Amino acid sequence: MLPKAEVHVHLEGTFALVDILRLAKENGAALPGPAATIFDVSTHDAFTMPEITTGGTRPGVGGAGLSGFLRFLDWQCGLVRTREQAARIAYAFAARQTASGVRYSDVIVNPTHWNAWHGREIELMEALAAGLDEAEEDGLCVANIAYSLLRSQSAGEAEHAVATLADRRPSRVVALSVDGDEKSSGRTGEKFRSAFRAAESAGFRRTVHAGESSGPEGVWDALDHLHADRIDHGVRSIEDDVLVRRLVDESIPLGVCPRSNVTLGLYADWASHPLPRLVDAGVRVTLNTDDPAPLACSLDEDWAVAAATYGFDRADLVRFAAESIRASFADDDLKRDLLAELAGVADPGAPS
């Protein structure tokens, strides 16, 4: 298994079924349906879940596609109500990553999903960092946090969040992100311009969800308005030759998640996904899971599917692994060590 990084994975999308069941029991919360079908996308047709209306004590996770999925995350993350529970989820994330050969992760956390922590977002970051600290001490995957805004938030809310991050400097928060449904929120680059420029001035890296449910214009906005270091998804850049050339010329990496794009209906199947065309065009591409638990996948499994579908050989996968490390927000020393480890695995006979 090749050592690698993962740069586009949401903590909200890594809760295993056992995590959810334990949290629900601890909090006396009812499940939104039978435990056996919570993550059953074949039953729910790409997260199209029946609306649940049972008197207000049981959350509805209804809706279709990405919007319905985001509502499910709201319910799930609402089960995390104590510092200990948050730390446990973070530790479990690092263990899951390690099992897929992931040595480093930029994990995206969007506090708007964690409704028990509204107004206490920094405390949530600190609780998660405690779990990640323990995981690293135990030899598991190193992980840092990309604090994510939601597209529907206001410019003022975004600016306040960044000012608080810059003032408090919570442990392991290394980047600012923005996620959510592009199609329903419309173009938000201009709205968040001030917040992202403030984050840049404060030394935070920037990663932006764009070019997923909307077209290439979202990627243009991420580059022009938000000074993105990396684009999460970005796959619809392939529809704009000028944009593809800019991504190549400016060496902007994409955090691509083929299974997510297919499951949520952006592309019909893996074969029609533009991943190989982006690679052939010279774009820096990394392979990621996005939300592995509800998508019922792991990173090593998705790499195997990509290899089988697109004919990637071991040398190609080594290049993907190296790109994932270079595109990450790990510090330079860790990147150097991980690249050296990868080189030793890729060519065991090479001099160290």
Beta strands in 141-284 (DSSP E): 142-150, 173-179, 205-210, 230-233, 254-256
CA–CA gap between residue 273 and residue 278 (Å, rounded): 10
Between these two residues, 347 and 24, which has the higher pLDDT value? 24
Pairing verdict, β 4-10 and 142-150: unpaired
Closest CA to 253 of 310, 148, 325: 325
CA–CA gap between residue 269 and residue 256 (Å, rounded): 15
pLDDT digit string (tens) for 271-290? 999 999 999 999 999 999 99
pLDDT at 72 over 60: yes
| Residue 249 tokens, joined | 């010329």
Q: Which residues are catalytic?
A: 212
Predicted confidence at residue 167, as pLDDT, reads 98
User: Concatenated DSSP letters for 117-142?
Assistant: GTT-HHHHHHHHHHHHHHHHHTT--E
pLDDT digit string (tens) for 82-107? 999 999 999 999 999 999 999 999 99
CA–CA gap between residue 285 and residue 223 (Å, rounded): 16
pLDDT digit string (tens) for 2-21? 999 999 999 999 999 999 99
**What is the pLDDT confidence band of residue 40, given thresholds at 50, 70 and 90?**
low
pLDDT digit string (tens) for 213-232? 889 999 999 999 999 999 99
Give me the mean pLDDT over the 182-186 stretch.
Answer: 81
What's the alpha-carbon Rg for the chain, to the nearest Å?
19
Would you give the distance in Å from CA 74 to the centre of its chain? 16
Report residue 102: phi and psi, to 5°. Answer: -80, 125
Q: Which sequence spans correspond to the domains of the chain?
A: 4-15+80-344, 25-73
Closest CA to 305 of 283, 337, 273: 273
pLDDT digit string (tens) for 133-175? 999 999 999 999 999 999 999 999 999 999 999 999 999 999 9
| Residue 107 tokens, joined | 């994990």
pLDDT at 57 over 70: no
Predicted confidence at residue 349, as pLDDT, reads 59
CA–CA gap between residue 65 and residue 264 (Å, rounded): 6
Is the distance from CB of 222 to CB of 230 less than 8 angstroms? Answer: no
CATH 3.40.50.2300 fits 4-15+80-344, yes or no: no
Give me the mean pLDDT over the 322-338 stretch.
Answer: 98
> How is residue 46 annotated by DSSP?
T
Closest CA to 218 of 166, 182, 177: 182
